[in-house]
Amino acid sequence: MKDLQTAEATEGVVTETSQPDSKGTGEGSAAVKVAPLKLGPLELTTPVLQAPIAGFTDLVFRRLVRELGGCGLMYTEMVSAGGWIKGTISPERLFGVVDEPKPLGVQLWDREPEMVEEAARRLVDLGISIVDLNFGCPKKRIMGKQGAGATLLRDPATIARMVEATVRGAGEVPVTAKIRLGPHPDQITACDVARAAESAGAVAITVHGRTAKDGYGVPVNHECIREVVDSVSIPVIANGDVSCAESAVKTLQNTGAAGVMVARRCLSAPWVFREITAALRGEPIPEPPQLPEQREQLLRHHGQLVELHGDPFGTVLMRKFAARYLGGIRGARAFRSEITVAKDAADFRRIVDTLFPLEADEEPTVSGDDLEEDCCTE
């Protein structure tokens, strides 16, 4: 078993200190300190990763995360390998990746090895830093109609073939996989799947600590993630319910994982990466932006989307992001209700000017986002 205090540097050296301050005031320091995460030849400055989230982790959002700091690896939205190769979808989710700062990852989904192999080759030509394969999407449309996503957790041999094909296509670019614990609580296959992926050439595994059947309605199972950690020699990244510095530290302590991946929470608090990274380095945890700062951030986000896509389309794209701002802030309901129907840039600005609260009535809390972070929308 890998000891949380003596893990190898490639998996994140972890040492005990004091508990982090859950309010992020910087009064406490982290309960763990984690070394940079190494994914094959790629070394990350912090073992805190941003999950690929369909419809959200686009170029403008990634710019925002990069500006705020603390994220070791960002991903585009998930891409259908077959749809891209066959030309049935436009690879809009890869917009801007050639000129974007690196490291940057792309997650592919499919069930055909030849599709992911060719897609990996194309990603190498685009200069992508890492290719990830999704074996965790719990949506019925992906599992049933496509026979992909978490359906493949029943078949470690097929997953091995998928990873082998992707490694062939990717060449020197590292390949990873993202999984769930299994298709059903009565069918936990994560250890077998992780070993299959490792034997096929994957350099790391991200584990969402629920089964496909669980969706997001049950607590993350840290014990099962730890079993995966103990079953392979490559780094394991823990995912699920990582919402703040305190929960990240708890996740690493409970699982022995080499890093954490943040999904839903980063949409309402993209500064969460710098908070977690500070905690893991034993540094004071930065204060979250005050509401006036969040307002200016919201307007910059909207402005960049409009500049990139024009108006009103840029405003339409921004509505889903804007609705996730102000999570847990009393008095923000009216703002969220109005902003989700903003017609154009002028209407958007009017709503922000009149309804965005500049003082909080209570401490912000983690909102109960219902977003499924490891799913595609093709």
Cα(15)–Cα(280) distance, integer angstroms: 10
Active site residue 191: no
Cα(184)–Cα(206) distance, integer angstroms: 18
Cα(239)–Cα(306) distance, integer angstroms: 32
**Within a 13 Å sphere around the CA of 278, how many CA atoms are in the beta-carbon half?**
25
Contact between 188 and 208 (Cβ < 8 Å): no
Contact between 323 and 300 (Cβ < 8 Å): no
The residue among 59, 199, 75, 56 whose CA lies nearest residue 132 is: 75
Cα(345)–Cα(303) distance, integer angstroms: 8
Rounded-to-10 torsion of CA 91, 94, 99, 100: 170
Cα(82)–Cα(70) distance, integer angstroms: 33
179 beta partners: 135, 207
34 beta partners: 14
Write the CA distances from 193 to 132, 137, 215, 218, 236, integer angstroms: 15, 15, 19, 22, 13
Strands 42-43 and 38-39, by their bridges, are antiparallel
Choosing from 71, 137, 244, 376, which is the catalytic residue?
137
The residues annotated as belonging to the active site are 137
